[in-house]
Structures are given as structure tokens and as C-alpha cells.
Amino acid sequence: MRGISVLRELTDVGGSASLSELGRATGLARATVDRVTGTLAHMGYVRLGGSSAVLAPRLMELGNAYLAALRLPDLLGTHADSLADALDESVSLAVADGDGIRFIHQAIRRRTLSLSFRIGDLLPAERTAPGPLLATEWDTQGWARWEQRQIDDPENRGFPTVPPRPLGAATDFRQRVEQARARGWALDDQLIEPGLVAVSVPVRASDGRIVCVASLVSHTSRHSAASLRESLLPSLRRTVRAMEQELADSPPSEPLSAPSDLAAWASTAKQELGGEFITSLARGLTVVTAFGEGRAELTLSEVAETTGLSRATARRALITLEHLGYVTRHQRGFRLAPRVLSLGFPPLSKTSLARIAHPHLVALTGRVQDSTSLAVLTGNAVQCAVSVAAGRIMDADIAVGARLPAHATSTGRVLLANLPDEELSALLARTQMRALTPFTLTTAHDLTAVLDLVREEGHAMVDGELEEGLRSVAVPVRDRDGSCLAAINVTMHSSRGSADECVTTTLPELRATAALIEADLHAARRFVRVPIA
């Protein structure tokens, strides 16, 4: 419970805080905060730097477990994305979370004036378009919970995503719920903040219950609430019908591979860290990852078998998670609740490949004592997205945003080697390979032979071709499907050792760093678009 309170606080403040601030916000002793963050860091869920803690992309595997078990983003997300592209407006999917709504998919239009909602954000039901629709299914207990919140938190201070609400602004919510019940759609006319308008339609399962709500969101410089309803509601309804057909036609998913030997891992970590490692926290969070696609509902025995925990330990973890609202009980089974997304997912869903890679490249630079960078292919050049200098008197100086010819750089050759043959041939045909030094390859024939070797060996080395005396070695950074998204490299002066020594000493470190970046990237990209910068 203490560990989760630290994760919630880090989430609410945007993903980063000093350890002292975490102690004051959670009421925990500094020694407890140190043990909690140390345990989370060992799990790869936070990074510690000096006296601060920062959420790490690996933490998104908790939210991914919920979203994969839910299946709705996988089944309905492409429909939402297509509608957003067709109408050039933002589209979201939301589910009920207590007396609020929580986003599970976002297709945001990138404009100067754009929306900042994130997957996992929690909004008060009464200030949204999905809220009245979801409230049509509230029972007496649900309404009592909502009414108590109006007394306890009349200005919505407990919802950091939205600005405070004027007092008395929710007096017509019950009326809006009844209108939504009768119409089958609902509006948000600047209830969250001035200028924001939205229209929503429920997505129903075959038994008639609402599984989520699809919304079109715009701002008043483009639409009024009335014009949004009149011009775009028909398109939204057609998309929702397609979503409901998708749900009806989709067969049950087969269970995918699940975590295993988590209990053994926790025991090993306890031996390594001693009293500084909180085993109960590690076990509780790994129970969350037992769920996923094809594993939406698990019995106690299945959770214990999946994690390698004893039934008694798994039971204690599930009871605690249920008490905190992260797990719900369904007869003999358990399911993850939307609140799991509150554990770091909103701020981390705005991450980029550059942010993911930077701390890993900083660590790599510290180990090899040479400059490192990450680059992407743009036409026949590579563009630097991350650069970490080693701080030497004679150091490679590649600025973020700098463009270099792909044919004469190690990152460029890695990226070129991973292009489809036709695309590579077309690119080389229109590229003039200028000689930058006497050693630069300048013919397509010679470069193609080198790229074949790069493809075979999985790395590229360029020695004196971009600049005399400059050597670099690079490896790819791959997506979940194996495609090459970027390349990272280490750059050094050739006097720092032979090329063979570079392969035996630097290349293993570079490959290990790429694996760490990929692990974070794969967790981040499961349900979120991750831009380069």
C-alpha cells in the first residue's frame, strides 16, 4: 500500500519528484520512501538520480496488463483512429471508473491548439460527455458515492487533470443522465474548460451493457456543441455500430505467454538488496502482470501458478489490490480494474523514443567514456535525436537535430541495411555519395556490399569516412515487430584503440544498451504512439 501511494503521487505530479517531496506528500518516513523507491528502481519501474525519483517506461507494463485483458483498445482502436483521420477531430474511448471516467484510447489531432488528455487520465463524470451515458448504469451505491463526492470535493480538487470546478456546476447532472438515457448520446458543452466541446455515444456488448463510450472532441473555434452534434454525430454513430459489430464477431482471445518465476526473482532480489528490498511490494505489483490478453479473469490458483507465488501470498496480494480498487472480484475469479492505469500510465503515455533512450545513453557514456547518440533516417541523411557527450578534451560533438550523410555514418548504415530492398535501391539511385575523406565509400556497389555485411553481423562500423580520425560503431533499436526504428552508436577517436578492440569491448555494451531501450520502448508502444522526439 505504501509503495502504491508513492507511485500514485509520482503520477499526480507528472512523473518526477524529490524523495523529500514524496515523503511529505504521502506522509511516509524518508527511510520508507528510500526503501520503496529502491525496490521500484530494482524492478525497473522508477529511476533514481541523486535525491529524485522518475517514473520509468517499464512501469507501463502494469497498465498494459489491464488494457490487454480488456481487449477494447486492440479491437476498437483502429475504428477510432480511422474516424479521427476522416473527420480531422480527436476521438477517444473511455470506461467507467467509480464515479469518474478513465480514457483507454486516444486519437489526438496534432495542432498548435490541441487536447492534452492522456490514456489513463481520470475525469469527473459530471463534467464530461461520456459521464452521463455511463451513469445510466449506476446503481444506488454508485449514485450515493457520487453524491458524497459532491460534498467532500465540490471543486474537483481530487482530479488533477482538470481545472477546478465552479461551485454548483453539477446541479443538472441527473437531468443530463436522463437525457442521455433517452437520446442515446450526450454532449459536453465546455464543462471541463471553456472552449472544449464533445459528443459521445455508448458502445454496447451483445447483452446491451455499455463496455465503453466513444467521443468526438473539438474546440469552439472549429465547432459549437450544436454543430458538433448536427454535423459529426451521424459519423460517430456509424463508427460505433462498426465497433459493436467488431465486438460481436471477435472470438475469445487465446492466452498469450504470461510472466513466470516471479517469486524466484523476488527472492533473489531480496538476497541482493537485503532489508532495503520490499518483497511484498514486488510481489503485489507482479500479481498485476499475471493478467493480460487471454487472461482477463483469473482464479486465485491461476494467479499463484502464473506468478510462482504460494496461494497464501497471492491471496494476500489480491485482497490488498482489491481493497485499493485495482482488482475486482467476480465469483471465484479476479479482474483488473481501470484504476491500474493510475499507476504511472498518464504521464508515461506522453513519452518519446528520445526520452526513453536518453538515460540509457547517459549510462552507456559513463561506462565506455565515449560519446553516444541515437539517430533516425530522414531521406538520405541521419538526424540526431539524442546526443550524450563524454566530456573529453577531444570529444565528438554532434548536436541534437544535426543531419549527417547516411552513407558515411555507422547509424546511417544500420538504418539503410534495414530498409526493404526496393526502397534501398531507389534511395541509393537518387543519392550522390560525396567523398568526405579519402576513405569514404562513394559508389552504390561498394556501399551495398558493406550493407550486406551490416545486415549479417547486426552492427556497423565506420572508421575515418565521415571525418579522419573519427570511428563509430552502431546497432539498431527495434520495435516490437522487429522493424528498425532508430540506431544508437558510440563515437571515439581512432587513437582510443584498434577497430578489433572496439568490437570486443564497446560493441557488447552497445548491444546491452539497445536491449534496455527496446524493453522500455516495447512497454511504451503497446497501446501508445511513441514519437521520436
Nearest 5°: phi and psi at 511?
-65, -40
**How confident is the model at residue 162, as a pLDDT?**
87
Which has more confidence, 392 or 133? 133
**How confident is the model at residue 263, as a pLDDT?**
63
**How confident is the model at residue 362, as a pLDDT?**
96
**Cα separation, 212 vs 199, whole angstroms:** 14
Find the distance separating the first CA and the last CA of the chain, reported in whole Å: 35
**Cα separation, 92 vs 80, whole angstroms:** 7
- H or E, element range at 374: strand 371-378
- H or E, element range at 460: strand 460-463
Which has more confidence, 460 or 394? 460
Grid cell 581512432 is found at 494
**Overall size of the chain counted in residues:** 533
Copy the grid coordinates of residue 347. Answer: 504521464
Give the model's confidence band at 449: pLDDT under 50 very low, under 70 low, under 90 confident, else very high. Answer: very high
459-499 confidence digits (pLDDT tens): 999 999 999 989 999 999 999 999 999 999 999 988 777 88
**How confident is the model at residue 193, as a pLDDT?**
85
Give the list of residues 6+ apart from residue 403 with CB closer than 8 angstroms, or none. 378, 381, 382, 383, 384
For residues 126-130, average pLDDT: 95
**Residue 52, Cβ neighbours under 10 Å: how many?**
16
Give the model's confidence band at 397: pLDDT under 50 very low, under 70 low, under 90 confident, else very high. Answer: confident
**How confident is the model at residue 168, as a pLDDT?**
64
33-68 confidence digits (pLDDT tens): 999 999 999 999 999 988 999 999 999 999 999 999
Copy the grid coordinates of residue 411. Answer: 547509424
For residues 191-199, average pLDDT: 90
Per-chain mean pLDDT for the chain? 92
Nearest to 372 by CA among 458, 492, 501: 492
In this predicted structure, the answer to whether residue 3 has a pLDDT above a threshold of 70 is yes
65-115 confidence digits (pLDDT tens): 999 999 999 999 999 999 999 999 999 999 999 999 999 999 987 654 556
Helices and strands (DSSP H and E) totals, the chain: 20, 18
**Cα separation, 183 vs 36, whole angstroms:** 49
Long-range contacts of 140-146 (CB under 8 A, 24+ apart): 142/98, 142/99, 145/98, 145/99, 146/99
3-state percent helix, strand, coil for the chain, nearest multiple of 5: 50, 20, 30
Identify whether the C-beta of residue 277 lies closer than 8 Å to the C-beta of residue 268.
no
349-372 confidence digits (pLDDT tens): 999 999 999 999 999 999 999 999
Q: Report which DSSP code applies to 503.
A: I
235-290 confidence digits (pLDDT tens): 999 999 999 999 999 998 777 666 656 666 767 777 777 778 888 899 999 999 99
Chain-centroid distance of CA 90 in Å reads 19
**How confident is the model at residue 387, as a pLDDT?**
95
For residues 391-406, average pLDDT: 81
In this predicted structure, the answer to whether residue 520 has a pLDDT above a threshold of 60 is yes
Query: Any idea which of 150-164, 223-237, 390-404, 506-520 has the lowest mean pLDDT?
Result: 390-404
Grid cell 565521415 is found at 466
**How confident is the model at residue 493, as a pLDDT?**
87
**How confident is the model at residue 255, as a pLDDT?**
73
DSSP state letters, 69-95: HH-HHHHHHHHHHHHHHHHTSEEEEEE
**Cα separation, 263 vs 270, whole angstroms:** 11
- Report the share of the chain in percent with pLDDT over 90: 77
Nearest to 100 by CA among 40, 47, 190, 170: 170
**Residue 21, Cβ neighbours under 10 Å: how many?**
17
Identify whether the C-beta of residue 409 lies closer than 8 Å to the C-beta of residue 472.
yes
Nearest to 166 by CA among 201, 191, 195: 191
Strand partners, 199: 187, 216
Copy the grid coordinates of residue 273. Answer: 538488496
Give the list of residues 6+ apart from residue 20 with CB closer than 8 angstroms, or none. 30, 51
Burial of 301 (C-beta count, 10 Å sphere; 0-12/13-18/19+): exposed
**Cα separation, 62 vs 66, whole angstroms:** 7
Identify whether the C-beta of residue 470 lies closer than 8 Å to the C-beta of residue 464.
yes
For residues 226-233, average pLDDT: 93
